Structure formats: C-alpha cells, structure tokens
Amino acid sequence: MDGNTGLSPVLDQRVRREQYRLLSNHLPVVLPGSLLIAVLLAWGFWNTADHTAILVWLSLLVAVITARLGLASYFSRLPERPEADHLLRNTLLLGSFISGCIWGSAGILFFDPENAYGFALLVIVLGGLVAGSLGSHSYYFPNFPLFAIPEFLPLMGGLLAVENDFYTLIGLMMALFLMLNLFYSKKYADMIERSIRLQFANDALLERLKASNRELHEYSYTDSLTGIGNRRQFDLDFDQTWQVAETTEAPVCLILMDVDHFKEYNDTYGHPQGDEVLKSLALVLLNVCEEQKVRGRPMRIGGEEFALLLKGDLDLAIDIAETIRESVRKMKIDRGEEHRVTASFGVARAQPARGGSRGALLDAADKALYKAKAAGRDRVIADRKSGAGKHG
C-alpha cells in the first residue's frame, strides 16, 4: 500500500508526503466540524442516556481532537525527510483510528432498541460521518478504513445482536453501506495518487522543457567553438545597447578585431591549430574585459573576426583595444617568434541620441579596421570622425 513496484522510491516518497499534507490540511476543518456534531449528538441523548457517560465520551473526543490538531501541525512543520514523513503518517493514522473508536463507542453507549428516536439519530450521525469523511479521509487510503470501520462496527454488531428482523435488516444495510464507502474510498485515493503523480510528472517535464529552452538559447546565441557570443548574440546586444544609449544619451563604441594572416596560418598549420588560436583569442578578450571591468562582452561575429560593444568615450575604447592587441601578441602558441599571432583593430564611436545609426557605426569601425590592415596590421586605428581619440 505504501509503494508501487517499478516506480522511483524518491517519487513514491514525494507522493506520500503530498498525501499526508493533504490529510493534515483538512484536519482544521474536519475535526472542529465533527466536534460540533458530537455536541449535538450529546444534546440529543441528554435526556435518555447517562450524563456521566455522555460527558466522559465528549471529553475524550475533545482531548483526541485537540491532540490530533496539535500533533499534525507540529509534525507537518518538520523538515522534509523520511523520518518526519513516517511520524506524520503514524500520527494521522493513529488519530483517525482512535477517533473512529470513540465515535464507535457511541453505538454501544447510546443504542437502546426501545428508543426509536435515539436509534434513528445514531444511524443518521454515524452514517453521515462515514459518508462525510469519505473525501477528506481518503487522500491516503489506509486512513479512511481506520476511521470508518471502528466507527461503524459497534452499532452494526448491536443491531445484528438484537433478535429483531428490522434491526437485522438495518445492520446488513449498514454493512453494505460501509463496504461501498470503502470501495469508493479506495477509488478516490487511487485517483488522488494518480493526480499527484501526474502533477509531479508535469512539473518535471516543465523543468526539462525550461532546461532544453535554455540550452537551445545557449546553442543559438553562443559560438560553439570559442564559447563566447556569436553574430546573433552580437545583433541582439547591439539593439539593446543602442536603445539604452538613446535613452541615456551615452555614446556607443564598437571595437572590431581581425586576426592577421589567419588564412595563411590555417594553411600552414591546419584548421585544428587555427581553432586553438581562436579559442585562445576568445579567452584573451574575456580576461581583458574582466580586468578592465568592461561593461560589455566579446563576440565572434565571423571566421576570425571579433567584436566588442562599449558605452563610453572613444579614448576608453582605444585603450581597451590596445590592451587586447598587446595581450594577443603575448599569447603562447608554440610556433616560434616568426609565427606570432597578431590582430588588427578598428574602433569607432556613435551617439544614438544625436541621430547616429547602427549601420554608420559598423561601417566606420569596419573602415578603421581596413585601414589598420592596410597600414601594416597589428595596430589599432580609430575613426576620427566618430569621436576624438588620442591614438591613431
């Protein structure tokens, strides 16, 4: 009853914990309601039954209900672990059984074959309690029979013991009523368990879907070779940076970097070695950005072309480009001094709030990069028309 073969023990434990939680959550409503019914039942028998027996019976029920509420509240607040779940389950089951026994004792204390009024009241109350507790006590199936069976058996036994065909018939009908309730309680408990499992499965599926979406986003916007942003990420960052700059009236700078003689390097040493160079370049860019506290991230926007967007003056962008250039020259690639990797840089600035355009900024940086290549490579050239700078 506590587990299903072939299912994950961890999932089983989570399902049981949820069933116990549902049972606990209904106690603050169910138990005070049952106490009110008990008071009305005692009032109904006040003139026909022994007062001491009524008061003792009612006091026991009050004590048990109070204890059940307190213990269920305490155990439900314990950390989620198997030991706490076990304690909560035992508390719930034991509480239901004791309550069922106390209610069942009413069938012994108050049943009088000569009192048709009292008999009708007992049948209505005890039968109504069984039927009414079907939903609230069936979140975990053992809970319902532990309450319903001891609650019904004493009165049923008393009816069948009376040598009266009418009472015998009522006793048999009560037995059938109890069996039907047990049957539907099991069906209801199974339905609840399936619903909980389905909910957990849906939650797990949703988490996997979110993880897949994150991975898909990462694959779509990350360069698979270097691990930094690709052209799609660059375009997205460009749009966002531009929109913010239009609002804040801040200038936007663009650094374009292209590896010098990269085709010849690939042809000489092979594409795998060329890929290692690109990975090292990406690492250099990331390190410089971290050291210089650059509010931007490098992107690989082409085969051997990289880009970096910055907010700020052209002088700052040129300084950062120079730092990157020097760091590239210091890279160790184990090919000797004559095959040292270098890069050329084009830097430009635009002011979106003053009518600048993204296309013009890209074009200016690209032209500056072309000039750096034409001037002998391994240098930084800034577009002077885009903003003042101290390097050329």
Distance CA 84, CA 94 (A): 15
Burial of 152 (0-12, 13-18, 19+ CB in 10 A): buried
Catalytic-labelled residue, pool 114, 218, 304, 305: 304
Q: 337 an active-site residue? A: no
The Cα-based distances of 288 to 40, 128, 275, 327 in angstroms read: 81, 77, 20, 8
Tokens of 391: 């390097």
Distance between first and last Cα of the chain: 81
Listed in sequence order, the residues at least 6 apart from 79 whose beta carbon sits closer than 8 Å to its beta carbon are: none
Distance CA 140, CA 1 (A): 9
Strands (E), the chain: 252-259, 299-300, 305-311, 343-350, 380-382
3-class DSSP state of 225: coil
∠ CA 287-289-293, rounded to 5°: 120
CB 329 within 8 A of CB 380: no
Helix (H) or strand (E) holding 253: strand 252-259
What DSSP designation does 222 have?
Answer: B
Active site residues: 304
